[in-house]
Chains A and B, each alone.
Chain A
Amino acid sequence: MLSIAIEGLTPTIVDAVAARLRGAMVRVAAESAAILLLGDPPAPRSVVECHLRDGKNVVITPGPALTSQLLDDPRLRVVNPDRYLPSRQLIRQQLDAGKLGDPGLLRLHCWQPAARDATAALLRNLDLACWYFGKPPDLVYAVGASALQIHLGFPGGGMALLDLVHDLPATDAYHALSLIGSHGAAYADDHANMQILYRREAVEAIHAGEGIAAWTALVQHYVDGGADASSWRDVLRVADVVRESLASKQAVALKGGV
């Protein structure tokens, strides 16, 4: 049975994942063949390299440490936690089942309080867009800074609008993702997933979170041999083009794809 270590998550989450895991046991790093660095902010490059030097298989979430050079190491895997959210999985399943038809428009809002890592948000959301369309974009326009707006055109006419806010003056994040296909659409919006708390002094909207399922699915997917580093080169290239567009204030075509 595979031994893995999970770092960066709270003990409560790690225990909950461990209790649900099949085919692997969660151990401390020294006793494990694989280290999953799942913290937010993502693990720094020095930590990743240290584990690789120790001969471990390493799983990271996308962040500043992720480079094309790092991807050359066959022991490294990159996972996007957002892909494993039940809401995002459900949309992907509908797409794969052909219920939504060809994706035409992905509309995504990711508003995060200041503490979150901007590079991680950029890479995770670009990855989601490429994942849903099944290919990287061929045209990129980006504008803004702390509120970053990315407009993507995909081969065949699909399009995506990614709205990434890195300094939302709030204590909680807001996420919304809609995917409009030629046969139907799916909407996953925190706006529709709020519970309301009434108290004397104020009314509060409280996010109905997606629980432990995403972490369990992510770790299980890795244990089952599913995590794949290949598409991350495309995502890194698109992120470079986003930066190129921001600097030039022009739309940038990805000639010959990524």
Chain B
Amino acid sequence: MLVFRAAVLSVVKHDYVARGMASHPRFQLAVVADDPHMPDWVHERNQLFADANGIPYLRDVECALRDFNVDLAIVSSEAERHSDLTIRAARAGKHVVQDKPFATRRADAERIVAEIEKAGVRFLMWNRNFLPAVLHAQELLGKVGRIRAVHIDFYFAKDAGPPKGSRMPGYPPLNWHAHQIAAHIDGSDGGVGVAPIGELSNEGIYPLAYLRMLTDAPVERVFARSASHFHQLYVDNGVEDLATMTLELQGGIVATIALGRIGAASHPSGGDMKIRIVGDDGALVIGESRPEVGVYYRNQPPKEARQRRVASDNDFLQADAFAHAIDTGGSTILDAPASLAIFATIDAALESCRSGQVVQMRRP
């Protein structure tokens, strides 16, 4: 069995991508690396992860890619560094598994696609498409006939600092970067980076990846609304924590997505996530968190989910599919062109939020 060795290029945001890949016996973490000029907190976090996994930490990305006999890079840095690290790995001939968001600027997103193609390496955008309920939805599609509409709810019932309206007169606005760094301890640092990013950019990848897998139809028109409705952090930084999209897809399919970081109080188990599909011959309502088990007990911590997801094989299946793509030279479940298409949809949604108008997608 051929084992692929991975360089973890920064692990300052989530370490679940690296851990997820390492859960598969064909992937082995070999080294953690980052650039030397990064601030201390970045090095500290990378070092901790390297120590926990018994592998070295280098303050030299190129050395890690060159001297450690690695086959792939796993990128989970601050959002605005994703494209740079991915492109450097691709140029070194390494396959890439990258955390969300794909990029923070359109030009960077397009560069990733070009460089991945030029290097002839495989690219995987980390996603949730192999969750049991999502696979179940895909399996049941044949029973509803031609798809007419897909509706996805994707809410993170999490807090992000103090609630909206809590900043006292005269106090400075909350600093995005500082908040995200501090939020790492409870895993709510999904938007870590210097520049603020709203939940369309942060979460949008997941439901849009579901939509892509379920319909295989490109988005043609986008209408969206957004608001900073829950958290002072999002108000102060001018980004959305709640958004809705109406999408018109090729073939006459209409899709809607509702997403947001809607506050911990709004759901006892992390968020009500649903996929609803209407077809010519029937309809489906799928709970994204199922199968789940209710667990309730005395003195239960308030943030602990009451309904626990079970039987998820998402990590293994993503890694397995990626290994297969490397073996065969085939495409991945969410490759660079697909990730660019999702980026472009989110970009169009943000434009629609600003203009109040429907946005026609540009042809690739």
By a beta-carbon cutoff of 8 Å, the part of chain A in contact with chain B is 102, 104-105, 107, 109, 111, 139, 141, 143-144, 146-147, 149, 151, 153, 157-159, 161, 163, 165, 168-170, 174, 176, 178, 180-185, 187, 189-191, 249-251, 253
Contacts and interface: CB of A to CB of B under 8 A. Distances in A.
Given A104-B229, A159-B225, A191-B287, A249 B358 contact: yes
A109 B262 contact: no
A147 B149 contact: yes
Contacts of A181: 266
Q: Which 8 A-B pairs have the closest CB atoms?
A: A157-B227, A185-B266, A104-B229, A159-B225, A141-B223, A151-B246, A191-B285, A147-B149
B280 A169 contact: yes
Contacts of B227: 104, 157-159
Given A141-B223, A165-B149, A165-B278, A180 B256 contact: no
B282 A105 contact: no
Interface string B246-284: 101000001010101011011100001010101011110
A182 B241 CA distance: 11
B76 interface: no
Nearest to B248: A143
Contact of B246 (A161, A180, A189): A161
B148 interface: yes
A249 B357 CA distance: 10
A174 B356 contact: no
A137 to B, nearest CB: 10
A165 B149 CA distance: 10
A12 to B, nearest CB: 29
Nearest to B252: A144
Nearest to A248: B358
Given A176-B276, A185-B262, A250-B358, 4 more contacts: A144-B254, A147-B254, A149-B256, A161-B151
Contacts of B164: 182
Given A141-B246, A168-B278, A105 B283 contact: no
Contacts of B267: 185, 187
B99 interface: no
A183 to B, nearest CB: 6
Interface residues of B, number: 40
B278 A104 contact: no
B274 A151 contact: no
B265 A139 contact: no
Contacts of B228: 157
A141 B287 contact: no
Of listed B223, B230, B356, residue having the most chain A CB within 10 A: B223
B242 interface: yes
A180 B357 CA distance: 24
Given A109-B276, A139-B356, A161-B256, A180 B242 contact: yes
Nearest to A146: B148
Given A104-B230, A161-B244, A169-B280, A149 B254 contact: yes
Nearest to B280: A169
B151 A182 contact: no
B163 interface: yes
A105 B260 contact: yes
Contacts of B244: 105, 151, 159, 161
B223 A151 contact: yes
B223 A187 contact: no
A169 B278 CA distance: 9
B78 interface: no
A163 B358 contact: no
Nearest to B149: A147
B159 to A, nearest CB: 12
A51 B283 CA distance: 41
